[in-house]
Structure 1
């Protein structure tokens, strides 16, 4: 069965549904193809479920710390993972079903269920249907990567997706990989009651961030009893007495790590491998990304790539911005570009780590004359009042132009407070402008002008 449309959207992740909404509102006839769960990674196995679990873990941690706030717990507290997962599942289900209902009832939008593969640059096959359009938008996302570790075939392991279905707390969770996913699950399960060990090849956490940031994050994790095995090389897996064992060679300690459960958090694999890109004249790069230009168009006219699969950002916020860029250029005659956006991200530990712009290491490597301002959270009143004083704020400023180069906040409320700096950077405001702001007391953000007022040359 052949059907013709103005546009095909492949994937109902963050960018796809919103683009369908804009295109249909403009009178386009759209087909949106989704082979599994509406909402993509964010709604189903990423942001929504993990942040719901992190909230539960935060509540459990607060109960455990009750005595620090002058409160006496009435009885020993132990988390039950079943109800925690049920709460998370309800949140995910409501979001997913709401999105699917919106799309299926969207005038001008036809929802097709199945896997789409190219037949040509203008046609794709989904099951027995052939869909044709002059405009095709790829929004296919990714999935947890399976790395070829020695012994992996013999050892049962969890991924960032399958761990979300656990109904009982692991007695001892071993996590291989210390990226954002590994770190967030580590703290989450530790707070819910599991012993946790992280095994990481790199000699320190967060190798792409500044050393002081990595040290602060390490302090957060170790203060809660999480075991870190950094610089772990020659990682291999084994099954002994029915339980997973991770063998490593470390300079300090080469003993194996034994646990009850194993989580592999070693990056993601893109869902571009079964699209039949070559039939459309497209070639993915070595990582599986579909290369795009500054307006997210591929090398083949009429085909765009949005979200994780284009290699221009692996976050929900960048995927949504991809939609905005495409819609602005196609429908609004507004020349928006990927290069206009700032690099912004966060890791949702508690307290979180958020950043914008350049790191201190990047500024140094570029030889840019710069000033730095830094304040520990122990000198932020709001953090002291909350009893959460780990971390710091740091800002970087061009020494000659006074332009803000970047900022990092490791600390309570940092994921929200940093938006003051993000907004100023988009507005191309200076450190002098930031010093003149008056923010509300008592907040974490109120100390941002102070940090900009304490700039010193970057040694």
Structure 2
């Protein structure tokens, strides 16, 4: 070790300030346990969700739908995230036994890490280590894409100071659609290219047709089945050469936003030094209780693969907490009912099975459908777009799943998920008394025979 290096044993080391990690750090601190939380960037205090994902993106999406000025919306978003970062930092700093250390952590041995940061290199050994380093956008291997000065990832797109007049988006997945709808609402001319010839292939045909039609009405152009072959910066524009079938075409815009998925942040951790295994995509392998292949080392959140949602990371915390201070009964495999929302306008939300999945599984089901135009609150809110669908087991009356495309679906889906978790029959939601006019009272009509 150099003179700048120190070595200390800490009871708990948490690598990454994400939702699961910060919640665990706070809890352990409240138990009086010593915690070292290592975060490589002070701009990421609080994790991905509050800084560069869920909250800032949804803030901009709502502002765009409300007709706000783009630059003013970005400034407001920045103010919000700065406040949240400070709040999250103070949440841990106020705990006497918790230390937040800036720096890049890497394993140098079993339960031993080296942290390189403003204070130089420091070495720590942990009795327990928790990895919560999240994930980052994937860059497809398209020639010229990495070198393009007009290329954006999702973080850079939300930090633009001026609105692109024309925007190309590579990827028609859920993240790509959120940004497509958002920028179209602000006034950009948006074109989305995707290699798949089918739009939202996992969704039911009627749902995805409604989503695509509404986005197109908002001004989004889709080019499906397009294989990007080359990206080049020419004067003030970025040009993409792509192949559509046997035809070779080009598309040009001010900027290109890459929305091609995310990959676990494990490349810089030197995991083999600690005996921590990963899969072929770099995700940390964990068991049903989030334990890695190394003793007393856990992984939480996006870094372990699977659904990448902040509420999953929070539930990961509950699983770990139950092992350390509870009965040890919570498992990843218990998490069968997981609601999701895509924050296009209006939002698309789902839980459980849709028709396509139920048919593939050969399940018998009863289908309930309700156009959003039939809901009084939608008329009041002047947004009647969308369709609500639910599948019910004819034998038990329990809900198998739902796809809700329409106003406030991101709130409604949690009610359906709760009913499914509690194994309540669909008639419970059908016969419930709801306030009026609200979107939740749609369940009275959706679940009618």
TM-score where L is the length of structure 2 = 0.93
Local SS of the residue matching 1:350:
coil
3-state SS of the aligned residue for 1:161?
A: helix
- Name which of 358, 362, 384 aligns with 1:389: 384
SS at 2:126 equivalent: strand
CA distance in 2 between counterparts of 1:212 and 1:4 reads 58
Secondary structure, aligned partner of 1:152: coil
Q: How does 1:291-370 map to 2 (within 5 A)?
A: 291-341=285-335, 342-370=337-365
Tell me if the contact between 1:313 and 1:319 (Cα under 8 Å) persists in the aligned partners. Answer: no
Shift of 1:80: 4.1
Shift in alpha-carbon separation, 1:253–1:349, aligned structure 2, 3 A: farther
Aligned equivalent of 1:44, options 33, 46, 51: 51
Aligned residues: 436
- Tell me the equivalent position of 1:89: 78
TM-align CA RMSD: 1.6
Residue of structure 1 in register with 2:234 after alignment? 240
Tell me which protein shows more strand as a share of its residues.
2
Aligned position for 2:191:
197
Task: Tell me the SS of whatever aligns to 2:152.
Answer: coil
Deviations 1:301-327 (A, max 9, x none): 201100001123200111111111111
**Structure 2 stretches of 5 or more lacking a match?**
1-5
Kindly provide the CA deviation profile for residues 71-125 of structure 1, in whole angstroms up to 9, marking residues without a partner as x: xxxxxxxx64332211010000000111112222212111111111112221111
Look up the SS of the partner of 1:324 in the other structure: helix
How much has 1:258 moved relative to structure 2?
1.2
Residue 38 (structure 2) pairs with residue 33 (structure 1): yes
CA contact (8 A) 1:204 1:214 kept: no
* Deviation readout 1:232-278 (Å, 9 max, x if unpaired): 12443223334111222224975321111111111112111111110
Instruction: Identify the residue that residue 208 of structure 1 maps to in structure 2.
Output: 202
Q: Does 1:106 align with 2:75?
A: no
Q: 2:416 aligns with which of 415, 421, 442?
A: 421
Q: Deviations over 1:144-187 (max 9, x none)?
A: 11111122244220111111221111010111111222111111
SS of 1:146's partner is: coil
Q: What does 1:372-451 align with in structure 2 at a 5 Å threshold?
A: 372-451=367-446
Which string of whole-angstrom CA distances, capped at 9 and with x for unpartnered residues, describes residues 318-342 of structure 1?
1111111111221122511122221
Q: Which runs of 5+ in 1 are unaligned?
A: 61-78, 455-459
- The offset of 1:225, in angstroms, is 1.3
Following TM superposition, the consecutive aligned residue runs of length 4 or more in structure 1 with deviations greater than 6 angstroms are none
Match of 1:228 in 2: 222
TM-aligned CA deviation for residue 297 of structure 1: 1.1
Give CA deviations for 1:334-380 in whole Å, capped at 9, x if unaligned.
51112222122111011000111122211111111111111111111
Is the Cα contact below 8 Å between 1:144 and 1:161 reproduced in 2?
Answer: no
Matched-pair contact (CA < 8 Å) for 2:64–2:70: no
